[in-house]
Structure 1
């Protein structure tokens, strides 16, 4: 069987196992959604009737099969709190979270690649020390604190950018402006991690024999780094980038709350507080699916970067 199809089957099996685990974990959460919706003073027969209406009285395998049948047909169920289709809610939130993740990752790459290459090229020098010190600071600073600092400087004092909220894509310019500060806050720690990984990978690659041969043929250290070392050092960098994108897509709950962004992370947080289990299940499944698919795509990109990996 071709390698691509083996990996595709692995992705599908991973999604199936993940869906079962998500459903089981959410189902084991203490508390009854029907009792939560009706309040503590509800009569037992009223609670029982609502549980039957919601399908909560059915056996676990039956409820899981029904949920997965809906997922496969594009129906993620109906929110218990908002009485609206969950698929539409997730789609609306992804219109915020996906551009935010892409913008944050783009900013992180734009900062990390020059910084990591400079540190590797000037290893042991002042530039290397400055980059490593800056990346250590970027990793250590809490991103929510950095986000509030950005709001104070660029929104409150300078009034260049909005402090929060999202106007929608009907006004593209205003929408992009509203994502700049949260994207910068998210990009800082990711750029720091990516720069350190790139520096380490480049330093290891620069010690290889083919790099020494290239230097012996007259290439400067910078030329050898850009023409030969960078591509061969991309494998660990791509791995980190794939993980970062998955995190940025759905793991920015704190930043989305700081900037009042109606993203996927904030939707999950609200659904948990409201015991809206169907929203939690479906949203987490979308998150996990994004992680698995991005990992699959990164795995395919490995073969483009390094042809030796295509047969593995």
Structure 2
């Protein structure tokens, strides 16, 4: 297992370095002067020259890249021109919203999808399978922003069970934690159900494929109950594609929730990127994008480790 982990770790580091080159190069290939682009056309030459010095644009490209990379490693993502605050502080503030939201959505998606996928696989070709996969297809087709607006209309406007938008912060008391949790319920549900539909279809396909293997027939020949065959033998051996989709979904939920965060007025990472782009704050865009790329690579590395846990062949080097 050690060679497998070392190989995956080396691959993750190489991918991270390549991604840093791409992200840094985006600022270099922008037409015109980045400092003038950030300050606008009416900025004075003195202000533009000061910003160029702050951004290190008066230094060679290689020196700027190495200094920027060193700052990424040490946690110095630069300083936002719009917010007059270090980018890392903005990220920590917004991550307090995006990370719990992503975890809630992924947990809810997994709780719904895996039982539905196993249920459909156990009844392959029957009406129950058709209904379950039909609902899953419907969930894939529904735009999540439309579903979010529907949830707001029913549960926030109609029944008044949860707030329609905004985020009060986590605070320090249990009541403030409860209010913050309630503010994330509808966004988590609106994100989770479309993802659950995708995960259910993948789980069903993976379990159906495993159900035709020899070890499943052997388990049935031993007289094991269908429940044990499905959950202990079939599902465990079908987990690799399921874990892959879960890793991709968590990365999407962490970084790709711009529309949902704008629907519910949540101050998350997605909304921070959207605001930074609209305000031409390139330092924030560059730093946050690199951080999200690193998080995606880290999630994929964790998924690879989970592969080795569920598949003994990887631990044996096969």
TM over 0.5: yes
Q: CA deviation at 1:204?
A: 0.6
Matches within 5 A, 1:222-241: 222-241=227-246
Separation in 1, partners of 2:152, 2:81: 35
What is residue 69 of structure 2 aligned with on the other side?
68
Q: Relative to structure 1, is the Cα distance of residues 292 and 144 closer, same or farther in structure 2, using a 3 angstrom cutoff?
A: same
Tell me, yes or no, if structure 1 residue 164 matches structure 2 residue 142: no
Q: Relative to structure 1, is the Cα distance of residues 275 and 19 closer, same or farther in structure 2, using a 3 angstrom cutoff?
A: same
What is residue 19 of structure 2 aligned with on the other side?
18
Q: CA deviation at 1:15?
A: 1.1
Tell me, yes or no, if structure 1 residue 4 matches structure 2 residue 5: yes
What is residue 116 of structure 1 aligned with on the other side?
117
Q: CA deviation at 1:37?
A: 4.7
Separation in 2, partners of 1:283, 1:43: 28
- For the 8 Å contact 2:23–2:286, the answer to whether it is kept is yes
Q: CA deviation at 1:78?
A: 0.4
Correspondent of 2:250 among 215, 230, 245:
245
CA RMSD of aligned residues (A): 1.6
- For the 8 Å contact 1:70–1:76, the answer to whether it is kept is yes
User: Helix, strand or coil: the match of 2:42?
Assistant: coil
Q: Relative to structure 1, is the Cα distance of residues 156 and 43 closer, same or farther in structure 2, using a 3 angstrom cutoff?
A: same
What is residue 108 of structure 2 aligned with on the other side?
107
What whole-Å deviation, never above 9, does each CA across 1:162-198 have from its counterpart, x for those lacking one? 1111111101101111111000111111100100000
Separation in 2, partners of 1:161, 1:105: 20
Correspondent of 1:288 among 278, 288, 293:
293
User: Helix, strand or coil: the match of 1:2?
Assistant: helix
Matches within 5 A, 1:63-212: 63-170=64-171, 171-212=176-217
Give 5+ residue unaligned stretches, structure 1: none
- For the 8 Å contact 1:151–1:163, the answer to whether it is kept is yes
- For the 8 Å contact 1:77–1:85, the answer to whether it is kept is yes
Q: Relative to structure 1, is the Cα distance of residues 53 and 77 closer, same or farther in structure 2, using a 3 angstrom cutoff?
A: closer
Separation in 2, partners of 1:121, 1:256: 37
User: Helix, strand or coil: the match of 1:299?
Assistant: helix
Separation in 1, partners of 2:31, 2:182: 41
- For the 8 Å contact 1:138–1:192, the answer to whether it is kept is yes
Q: Relative to structure 1, is the Cα distance of residues 211 and 57 closer, same or farther in structure 2, using a 3 angstrom cutoff?
A: same
- For the 8 Å contact 1:121–1:222, the answer to whether it is kept is no
- For the 8 Å contact 2:38–2:282, the answer to whether it is kept is no
Give 5+ residue unaligned stretches, structure 2: none
What whole-Å deviation, never above 9, does each CA across 1:74-132 have from its counterpart, x for those lacking one? 11110011110001110111111110000000000010011101100111111101111
Separation in 2, partners of 1:189, 1:118: 18
**Which shows bigger deviation, 88-97 or 28-37?**
28-37
Separation in 2, partners of 1:43, 1:105: 48
Separation in 1, partners of 2:38, 2:9: 41
Tell me, yes or no, if structure 1 residue 274 matches structure 2 residue 299: no
User: Helix, strand or coil: the match of 1:247?
Assistant: helix
In the superposition, the TM-score normalised over structure 2's length comes to 0.93
What is residue 256 of structure 1 aligned with on the other side?
261
